A = this chain, B = another copy of it.
Amino acid sequence: MQLELSVDRGSPVPLYFQLSQQLESAIEHGVLTPGTLLGNEIELAARLGLSRPTVRQAIQSLVDKGLLVRRRGVGTQVVHSRVKRPLELSSLYDDLETAGQRPSTKVLVNTLVAASAEVAAALGVAEDSEVHQLERLRCTHGEPMAYLCNYLPPGLLDLDTGQLEATGLYRLMRAAGITLHSARQTIGARAATAAEAERLGERSGAPLLTMERVTFDDTGRAVEFGTHTYRPSRYSFEFQLLVRP
């Protein structure tokens, strides 16, 4: 079976990207079945009228995504397991929306406060300096699912309550021109305090899933510090990991 591949040199889309997109879609649609050998890079390059480095760049991006495996002396194969997207720095709001859960958000606190020692350390600002404080209740199907507390450095973003109820925080940040780069997360569990139980509709002492996160932009500035609690019956963290070679 010969896979139909072609590139358009008139397109502004890079050639390696055109190729990797076609391969990815062929894998996702089952045209390239698991275990298939791709054919060697030099022949593939000749067939497409591309240079070998360009073909390698396309293949490499799919290896990085976990869709292909390369073995010296053997060839490049489509991975057998259905690899979903590896873990990304994703927005809870976007994840829920993608899953068709129709999330809703209620902003309970949106104000400026003096940074506590913990918040100041996380955001890298002076203690007692002003920071934004945000508390939101996220529901799906009208039921509370998570309670989100966030702190943001001042002057970064217009935090409009209306917008915060219509979309997620990460999307607002990106729209404000902030380039998210990395985040440090801690996921744990503990018993709900009376106040937490009340907010989430659980009983006091019930198990809660917790997440603490500091997000950085590409200049290394902390742009957000959040402490979130989730109802474990309604939410868990699910992700794909790739072993780095």
Copy number in the complex reads 2
Shortest C-beta distance, A71 to chain B (Å), equals: 8
Cβ–Cβ contact A189 & B208, under 8 A: yes
A 12-58 contacts with B by CB, 8 A = 34-35, 53
**A interface, size bucket:** 35 or more
Instruction: Say whether, besides A181-B79, A244-B88, A187 and B220 are in contact (CB < 8 Å).
Output: no
Which residues from B are CB-within-8-Å of A88?
241, 243-244
Return 27 A-B CB contacts under 8 Å, by A number: A35-B220, A53-B53, A64-B64, A66-B182, A69-B218, A79-B181, A79-B182, A79-B218, A80-B219, A80-B220, A81-B220, A81-B221, A88-B243, A89-B242, A182-B243, A183-B240, A184-B239, A184-B240, A184-B241, A186-B236, A187-B187, A188-B209, A188-B232, A189-B209, A190-B233, A207-B207, A209-B209
